[in-house]
């Protein structure tokens, strides 16, 4: 299927007289830099006009001579001030539209980029390579990349021949991803009270970055016995899910490995889906450490495996002394956020001012209804620790009363919220069935550590800057529990395409409406970041 001729309507403002010559000049001088002279010129001239840095994903404005950092948003400020909506990535050559807030495709621009890239390769007179270290650091030593063996993997653009195009047209097994395509959806046989495992597997296999990792065969097992590696089994599981087979899959090998590596989950009694999720992530994390990304971390206490890249966030805890107001800050990693609910023995924070029927964070409030935003507000509110929990203040050098506040220092790519519906205490063992309204789209900005100073009277003032989408998430999976604490059943809702949802009930998968999803009770909520930026 051919791509559209123009993927963005905002490029028409750039396509005026001599635009092709101007774009070619930018590619020749500032992007591909084929000759030694242009590489030296690029090293000298391509610095951010605001901070003077070579780093931070430098972009050039297509309308004027301006270089700005993408990571520090200096190019964003220029675009907003000058209304220059297009910029070019000086490392990869992609065109970014600040109106679309994404890298765009334009057939004419893409053709110019390819032609200039081929010219640069000929001038350099060496095999084109993806120079991974050079791309990551963007140092000024441009000529050092021309080693004979090259760095990284060999790269060349694949262009199908006429014969190959003909074969593709006549191949009846060719798969076309359409809006009603169900590839990736597959039921799972219940092996005896294993619905808790099946619903988590459905959520993980529909996590976009995790799917891309496994389907591109990125896992390199270094365990002595690959048959005992949970990551290898997950890789096989992804292949089974996306093979196109319609019959339910029997996850007996996965269950055996879970029993082997998380013995507290062994047996055929019903288990907690949240407990299984944390145990599965822990085992996957431990078995991923042999992968290349797991080894590359500079900090020996920090892992950069695919599990940590996707699911790990940073939770900031600020303890403030009530006497000298000194603040002690710690940051701890987390895979999920557990939220208290009204109806539990823990006193719940009052509902938000939006509970009169207005909309807050995309949630439609009905009078008396608790929302996910309410739960997050309660989670991040300052809490007085009381006289029975005094801490030794480093400023006062004595034990003092204090307040504690939790906020998000670093957000994960996938944010998992655990609604604490199962209460276990000395007096009570019960399930809390309080309905919690949760949105399709969630903005985590009010709960960030950087937003603490912006709060007024306990309420966050939403910024009007529409370009700030770094902390926005979209719902893609919901795990539900029906029944009581002693006897129940887990199901899940999975987003297959935009606004297309399916209910997964072990081996049975049925179409679901957005209303079905949002009206469900909700136990585990999975949100994926809407915008991802490369570091």
CATH of the domain at 445: 3.90.70.10
Q: What is the pTM of this model?
A: 0.67
One domain for residues 425 and 490:
yes
* Sequential pLDDT tens for the chain (535 residues): 444 444 688 888 888 888 888 898 888 888 887 777 777 778 878 889 888 887 778 999 998 889 999 888 999 999 999 999 999 998 888 899 998 888 888 888 888 888 888 888 777 654 343 333 333 333 333 333 333 333 333 345 567 788 888 887 887 666 666 767 778 899 999 988 889 999 999 999 999 999 988 888 888 887 777 788 888 999 999 999 988 888 999 999 998 888 888 877 777 677 889 999 999 999 889 888 655 554 554 455 567 889 999 999 999 988 888 778 778 888 899 999 999 888 666 665 554 444 444 444 555 445 568 899 999 998 988 888 777 777 777 777 777 778 888 889 999 999 999 999 888 776 777 888 889 999 999 999 989 888 775 554 445 455 544 445 778 999 999 999 998 877 789 999 999 888 899 999 999 999 999 999 999 999 999 999 988 765 5
Q: Is residue 19 part of a domain?
A: yes
Q: Tell me the helices (H) and strands (E) count for the chain, helix number first.
A: 15, 27
Specify the pLDDT at position 534. 58
CATH number at residue 74: 3.30.40.10
Q: Is residue 326 part of a domain?
A: yes
CA-based nearest residue to 365, from 451, 435, 313, 280: 435
Q: Is residue 260 part of a domain?
A: yes
One domain for residues 246 and 318:
no
Taking the mean position of all CA atoms in its chain, how far away is CA 169?
35
Specify the pLDDT at position 516. 95
Specify the pLDDT at position 383. 83
Active site residues: 195, 489
Instruction: Please state the φ and ψ torsions of residue 403, each to the nearest 5 degrees.
Output: -120, 150
One domain for residues 207 and 336:
no
Q: What is the CA radius of gyration of the chain?
A: 26
Contacts of 337 by beta carbon, 8 Å cutoff, 6+ apart = 315, 376, 379, 415, 416, 417, 418
Boundaries of domain holding 220 = 190-289
The domain total for the chain is 3
| Partners of residue 424 on adjacent β-strands | 429
One domain for residues 381 and 515:
yes
Q: Is residue 354 part of a domain?
A: no
One domain for residues 195 and 252:
yes
One domain for residues 520 and 414:
yes
Q: Is residue 160 part of a domain?
A: no
Dihedral angle computed from the Cα positions of residues 314, 455, 434 and 478, in that order, rounded to the nearest 10 degrees: -40
One domain for residues 318 and 417:
yes
CA-based nearest residue to 377, from 357, 402, 345, 355: 355
Q: Considering 254, 289, 324, which residue would you say is the last residue of a domain?
A: 289
Q: Considering 124, 143, 172, which residue would you say is the last residue of a domain?
A: 124
Q: Is residue 451 part of a domain?
A: yes
Specify the pLDDT at position 348. 56
CA–CA gap between residue 469 and residue 439 (Å, rounded): 16
One domain for residues 277 and 325:
no
One domain for residues 326 and 257:
no
CA–CA gap between residue 186 and residue 206 (Å, rounded): 11
Residue linked to tokens 């107001």 = 325
Q: Is residue 100 part of a domain?
A: yes
One domain for residues 118 and 266:
no
The answer to whether residues 212 and 155 touch, using CB atoms and an 8 Å cutoff, is: no
Q: Considering 124, 142, 157, which residue would you say is the last residue of a domain?
A: 124
What is the DSSP code string of 65-112? Answer: S-EEETTTTHHHHHHHHH---EEEETTT--EEETTTTEEE-BHHHHHH
Specify the pLDDT at position 403. 84
In Å, what is the CA distance from 92 to each residue of 39, 314, 315? 15, 30, 33
């Amino acid at each position: 299927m051919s791509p559209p001729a123009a993927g963005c309507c905002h490029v028409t403002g750039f396509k005026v007289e001599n635009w092709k010559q101007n774009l070619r000049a930018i590619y020749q001088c500032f992007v591909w830099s084929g000759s030694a002279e242009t590489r030296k010129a690029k090293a000298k001239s391509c610095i951010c006009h605001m901070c003077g840095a070579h780093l931070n994903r430098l972009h050039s404005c297509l309308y004027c001579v301006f270089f700005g950092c993408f990571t520090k948003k200096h190019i964003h400020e220029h675009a907003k001030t000058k209304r220059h909506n297009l910029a070019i990535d000086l490392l990869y050559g992609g065109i970014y539209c600040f109106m679309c807030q994404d890298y765009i495709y334009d057939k004419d621009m893409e053709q110019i980029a390819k032609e200039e890239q081929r010219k640069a390769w000929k001038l350099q007179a060496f095999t084109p390579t993806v120079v991974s270290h050079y791309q990551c650091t963007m140092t000024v030593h441009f000529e050092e990349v021309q080693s004979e063996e090259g760095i990284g993997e060999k790269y060349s653009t694949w262009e199908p021949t006429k014969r190959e195009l003909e074969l593709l047209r006549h191949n009846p097994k060719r798969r076309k991803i359409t809006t009603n395509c169900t590839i990736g959806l597959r039921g799972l046989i219940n092996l005896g009270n294993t619905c808790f495992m099946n619903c988590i597997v459905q959520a993980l296999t529909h996590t976009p970055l995790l799917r891309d990792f496994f389907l591109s065969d990125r896992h390199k097992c270094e365990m002595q016995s690959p048959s005992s590696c949970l990551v290898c089994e997950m890789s096989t599981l992804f292949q089974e899910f996306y093979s196109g087979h319609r019959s339910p899959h029997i996850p007996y090998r996965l269950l055996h490995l879970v029993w082997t590596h998380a013995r507290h989950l062994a047996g055929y009694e019903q288990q907690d889906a949240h407990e299984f999720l944390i145990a599965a992530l822990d085992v996957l994390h431990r078995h991923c450490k042999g992968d290349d990304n797991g080894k590359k971390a500079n900090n020996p206490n920090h892992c950069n495996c695919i599990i940590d890249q996707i699911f790990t966030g940073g939770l900031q805890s600020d303890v403030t002394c009530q006497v000298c107001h000194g603040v002690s800050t710690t940051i701890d990693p987390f895979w999920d956020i557990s939220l208290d609910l009204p109806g539990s023995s823990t006193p719940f924070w009052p509902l938000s001012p939006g509970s009169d029927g207005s909309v807050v964070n995309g949630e439609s409030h009905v009078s008396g209804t608790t929302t996910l935003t309410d739960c997050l507000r309660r989670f991040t509110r300052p809490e007085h620790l009381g006289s029975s929990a005094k801490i030794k203040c480093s400023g006062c050098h004595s034990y003092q009363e204090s307040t504690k506040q939790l906020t998000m220092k670093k957000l994960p790519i996938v944010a998992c919220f655990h609604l604490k519906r199962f209460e276990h205490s000395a007096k009570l063992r019960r399930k809390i069935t309080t309905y919690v309204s949760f949105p399709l789209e969630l903005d985590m900005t009010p709960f960030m550590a950087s937003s603490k100073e912006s709060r007024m009277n306990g309420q966050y003032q939403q910024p009007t800057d529409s370009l700030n989408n770094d902390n926005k998430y979209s719902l893609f999976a919901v795990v539900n529990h029906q029944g009581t604490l002693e006897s129940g059943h887990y199901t899940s809702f999975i987003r297959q395409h935009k606004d297309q949802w399916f209910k997964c009930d072990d081996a049975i998968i049925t179409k679901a409406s957005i209303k079905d999803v949002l009206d469900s009770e909700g136990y585990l909520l999975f949100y994926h970041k809407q915008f991802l930026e490369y570091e």
